[in-house]
Amino acid sequence: MAERPHLNLIANAEQKMLAETARKLVEEKAPVERLRELRKPEHPKGFSRSLYSEMAELGWTALLIPEAYDGLGLGLFDLVGVLESLGRELAPEPLLTSALLGAYPILEGESEALRQRFLPGIASGDAIVTLAYEEEGLRDYYERPSASITAYNAGYVLNGTKIQVADALVADAFVVTCRSAATDSLAMVLVEANSDGVSIERQYRVDSRVVGIVRFENVDVAEDEVLSLEAVPLFNKTLNRAAVGLSAEMLGAAEKAFEDTIAYLKERVQFDVPIGSFQALQHRAATLYCELELLRSSVYAAAAAADQAEEAFPRLAALAKARANETFLHVAKEAIQMHGGIGMTDECDIGFYLKRAQAAAWSLGNTSYHRRRWAELNGY
Partner 1 sequence: MSELESFRMEVREFLEANAPRSLRGTSPSGPFDGYWGGKKHPPVDPDVLKWRDVCYERGFTAPTWPKEYGGAGLSRKHAAVLYEEMRALGLPRPVVGFGFAMIGPTLLEFGNEEQKHEHLPKIARGEIRWCQGYSEPNAGSDLANVQMKAERDGDEFIVNGQKTWTSHADKSDWIFCLVRTSQEDRKQRGITFLLVDMESEGVSVRNIDLISGSSPFCETFFENVRVPVRNVVGQIGDGWTVGKALLQHERSNIGSSIGRQPGSGQRELVEKARHHLYWDGKRLEDAVMREKIAALGMEEEAFQLTLDRVAQKAQAGGNPGAESSILKVVATELKQARYELGQEIAGAAGLGWTGPGFSESDLEFTREWLRSRANTIEGGSSEIQRNIIAKRVLGLPDAK
Using CB under 8 A, pick the residue from 56, 265, 348, 357 that binds partner 1. Answer: 265
| Cβ within 8 Å of residue 259, ≥6 positions away | none
Q: Does position 5 bind partner 1 by CB under 8 A?
A: no
| Degrees, nearest 5: CA angle 289-347-96 | 60
Using CB under 8 A, pick the residue from 68, 206, 290, 342 that binds partner 1. Answer: 290
Residue 49 phi, psi dihedral angles, 5° rounding = -65, -35
Nearest-angstrom CA–CA distance, 319 and 326: 11
CB of 251 vs partner 1, minimal distance in Å:
12
Using CB under 8 A, pick the residue from 113, 273, 342, 344 that binds partner 1. Answer: 273
Other residues' Cβ atoms within 10 Å of the Cβ of residue 57: 12
Q: Does position 337 bind partner 1 by CB under 8 A?
A: no
Of 349-368, which residues contact partner 1 (CB under 8 A)? 368
Query: With respect to partner 1, which residue has the nearer C-beta, 113 or 273?
Result: 273
Single-letter amino acid code for the residue at 261 = T
244 with 317: CB under 8 angstroms?
A: yes
Nearest-angstrom CA–CA distance, 239 and 123: 20
Q: Which range touches partner 1 (CB under 8 A), out of 6-14, 36-44, 53-61, 350-358? A: 6-14
Q: Does position 280 bind partner 1 by CB under 8 A?
A: no
Q: Does position 59 bind partner 1 by CB under 8 A?
A: no
Q: Does position 330 bind partner 1 by CB under 8 A?
A: no
Number of residues that bind partner 1 (CB under 8 A): 46
Nearest-angstrom CA–CA distance, 281 and 265: 8
Query: With respect to partner 1, which residue has the nearer C-beta, 49 or 283?
Result: 283
Q: Which range touches partner 1 (CB under 8 A), out of 29-37, 200-208, 279-287, 355-363? A: 279-287
CB of 146 vs partner 1, minimal distance in Å:
25
Nearest-angstrom CA–CA distance, 148 and 210: 25
Using CB under 8 A, pick the residue from 61, 240, 298, 363 that binds partner 1. Answer: 298
Q: Does position 49 bind partner 1 by CB under 8 A?
A: no
Q: Which range touches partner 1 (CB under 8 A), out of 7-15, 41-49, 176-184, 212-220? A: 7-15
Query: With respect to partner 1, which residue has the nearer C-beta, 204 or 289?
Result: 289
Using CB under 8 A, pick the residue from 277, 310, 311, 340 that binds partner 1. Answer: 277
Residue 354 phi, psi dihedral angles, 5° rounding = -65, -45
3-state secondary structure of 62: helix
CB of 331 vs partner 1, minimal distance in Å:
13
Query: With respect to partner 1, which residue has the nearer C-beta, 13 or 154?
Result: 13
Single-letter amino acid code for the residue at 253 = A
Using CB under 8 A, pick the residue from 151, 182, 206, 294 that binds partner 1. Answer: 294
3-state secondary structure of 359: helix
CB of 44 vs partner 1, minimal distance in Å:
40
CB of 204 vs partner 1, minimal distance in Å:
32
The pairs formed by 352-356 with CB atoms below 8 angstroms and a separation of 24 or more are: 352/32, 352/35, 352/90, 352/207, 352/208, 353/90, 353/253, 353/254, 353/256, 353/257, 353/328, 354/329, 355/206, 355/207, 355/208, 356/90, 356/207, 356/253, 356/328, 356/332
Other residues' Cβ atoms within 10 Å of the Cβ of residue 84: 25
Other residues' Cβ atoms within 10 Å of the Cβ of residue 105: 27
Per-residue x/- mask for partner 1, residues 233 to 262, rule CB under 8 A? -----------------------------x
Which residues make up the interface to partner 1 (CB under 8 A)?
A: 1, 4, 7-10, 262, 265-266, 272-274, 276-279, 281-283, 285-287, 289-290, 293-298, 300-301, 316, 318-319, 322-323, 368, 371-372, 374-376, 378-380
